[in-house]
Structure formats: structure tokens, C-alpha cells
Amino acid sequence: MDAGLEPVVITGMGLASAAGLDPEAVWKAVLGGVTVRPEQDKDGLAGARVPPYELQKLRLPKNQKFLSASSRHLMWAGLQALDAAGWSGAALAPERVGVFSAAGQAGMEPSSFFPGFDALAAQAADPDWEGLGGPAARSLDFYFPLRCLSNAGLALLAMEISARGPSNNFSQSDTAGALALESAVDSLQAGECDMAICGAFENLLGAANYLNYQQAGLLSPSAPRPFDRAAAGMLLAAAGAAIVLERRSSAEARGAPILAEIGAVATALDDAAGGAEPIGTGRAVEAVCRRALGGEQPAFAVLSGLGVPRFDLREAKAVTEALGPGVPCTAFKGATGYAGGSTAILETVLAVCALRAGLVPPVAGLEHPAEGVHLDLVALQPRVLNGTASAGALCLSHSFMGQSAAIWLRTPSGS
């Protein structure tokens, strides 16, 4: 970020993931190295599922019917983050509150909006699909077009909190949250809003997603093990994550908790990746690390760590070249699963937890680093942060087709 601009800080955080329903619960699982366990649905498809919860006391309860599963996770995390920030709806004019979001896979499974598919399929091994007319057609969910919109989560959260300030939604995979965060910080520093909610949401647990990832050879039959010699692939997941952002002077004026400072956000594209590959030559990784850090050295780095051996090896080589082999590194997907578009914000929340605790959590599932991985990976036990190192964390994410992003987080000065 421009040194002449006022720092932007995080004042509240919220989470809904397979590892828990708030930052404290998820952090406890991550710190303990608890590996996420696959759960099967009625069709036998394995995934990392968010525990059940009820959205209660919504200002606009009728909007529940417009919420897809992933939008519900964003609503949960967003309201939780605002509550943690001590936000009061009466404290700011609606035009001074911005909402920025990152969405992953938009759309819904056919059976989600037309239960007639499942009802008919259950009648016989060889169902008569002509029977989808008549009584089955009456099960059609007429709200499904609204739930399929990639910006539905943003719109419904903004409506719930009466926010009418600047907004932006980025729809892609892992790096979407970094783009949303950068947009939110830019709006705050330009004076367009006084508070920004930056959220991300994803649900990869449908049959179509499962089959696509499976056919690409990316899924593990068991728990994910990033950077481990026994790694066999990723575990699909659902999640919602949110952070509340304010200019530091505004946060201090209202006595808000200051959890971390946004140092910088950087993105770059590796045109050698292509297809279903998040990293090509590693040039983009080097570029985002250099631009985000601006010469500083992180106390630790959070890597993508998908659990797909060839992806992890490429990332490890690129990060070693960009940062050197001596920076402690961790990764969170062994504990949370792979939740696509929610990745960057979810992992930012956990990195803030690590900075505040002074501990780097272990990579869940990592016991024996894979051949060719020469990073200083934290394994089996948390590591105490070196007090002489810069009090900052670098979070990396990589989208398919080659975009990489880095989020540089600092412990607030005076903390």
C-alpha cells in the first residue's frame, strides 16, 4: 500500500467452515493440527461439510428463501464479523458502509431447485424421465435463478445490514478474495466509505463439481495431506469467511478492536499455467511476493497447499525461489478442505489468529515432506514466532489458469 495513505485495519472476523463455526473454533482445530475428515452425502460423494447452524433474528427474514448454501455461509460469517467489530447499524450512514465479496462456483445442482429429479430417480432403477411433467413439476423451486447469481451473497448481506456504499464482487477461484480485499482497501483509502465488509463464500459439494474435479484427477480418497509424500489430492469443501475493515483512525475513534493491519495486496498472472493448473513457471509467485512485501521479511508464510502432489511441488519450488528456504511455512487446507473462492479471506482470518497468538500452526496431515520440497514447513507441533522477526504474515493463493495473489498482514504498531 502507498506509504502516504492511512493504514487499513481489520476490526472483526467471522467464519463458517468444516472445522468450526467461528474463528476461535477453526483456529483451535488448525493449531491442533486436526485433519479434516471426509463426510459422504446420500450419493456417496465425500467432502468437508460445514456443521449445521440456524440463521436467526435476521432483519429481513423473508430473504432466507433467496439464500443458497454458500450465500448462507457468507451471511453467517458477515454478521459474526460485524458483531465482533462492535458495529452498530445506527453508527454510520448506509452510504458509508461498503460490501465487497468473492464468490466461487455459481449455480446450483439440478436437484437443489427441482427435487422432482431425486423423487423420480428413487422410483426405479431406470426412471421414466417423461414423468418430470405433471406432479413432479410442482416441486420446482421458483427462486433458484436468484440463488444462482454469483453476487447474490453480496446483495443479500448488503440488504440485511442496510449498506448502500461502494460494492464489488469477484467470481473465480482461490484469488477472488484477494481481489475483493484490494478493492475494499482502495475504497476506504479513497474516502468512499468508512467501513467495509469483505467476505467470501463457496460450496463445492455438488455432484457436478465433484465429478469435474474427480475426472481431472485432483481428488483424494482420504483426508488431504499438503506437501506430504503420501499426498493424493484435495478434499472439496464449503465455507464462508468475512472481515471488517476500517481506516485506523476511524477504528481508534470508536474504540474498535484492531486485530491486524493490511500491509499490501498483490496479484499477477502466470501465462504458462493454463488449463487446470494454478502455477506454471512460478514467475507470478515471485512477482506477488516481491510487490506485497516491498523488501520486508515475513515472520511466516501461509501457502496454498492443495494436497495435489504436482501442484504442491511447484508451489514449494516457486516459494523457495521467492522467499528463500528459511521462512517458516504452513498451510490450512489439511484442516479446512479446499473451499475455492472463499480461500483467501478464510486463510487471512486464520493468519490473523496466528499473529495474535504468536504461533505458527502445523500443516495438518504433514508427517514426511515430499521429495523435492525444501521449505521450512511447520509440522506436527505449533512453532513459536521468533520475536526478532518482522511481525507479519504473507498469505498466498493461486487460481486455476495461473493467477497468484499475496496478502501481506502486519501486527498493528503498538500491539
Domain ranges of the chain: 8-110+143-253, 262-410
Residue range 229-249, pLDDT digits in tens:
999 999 999 999 999 999 999
Percent of all residues in the chain with a pLDDT value above 90, rounded to a whole number: 64
When pLDDT is cut at 50, 70 and 90, the band that residue 64 belongs to is confident
Residue range 387-414, pLDDT digits in tens:
644 589 999 999 887 889 999 999 987 5
262-410 topology per CATH? Peroxisomal Thiolase; Chain A, domain 1 (3.40.47)
**Residue range 143-149: mean pLDDT, rounded:** 78
What's the grid cell of residue 47? 467432502
Query: Considering only 4-8, 19-23, 114-118, 328-332, which range has the smallest mean pLDDT?
Result: 114-118
Residue range 303-354, pLDDT digits in tens:
999 999 999 999 999 999 999 888 999 999 999 999 999 999 999 999 999 9
The answer as to CATH 3.40.50.300 being correct for domain 8-110+143-253 is no
Global pTM?
Answer: 0.92
Domains 8-110+143-253 and 262-410 agree in fold: yes
When pLDDT is cut at 50, 70 and 90, the band that residue 121 belongs to is low
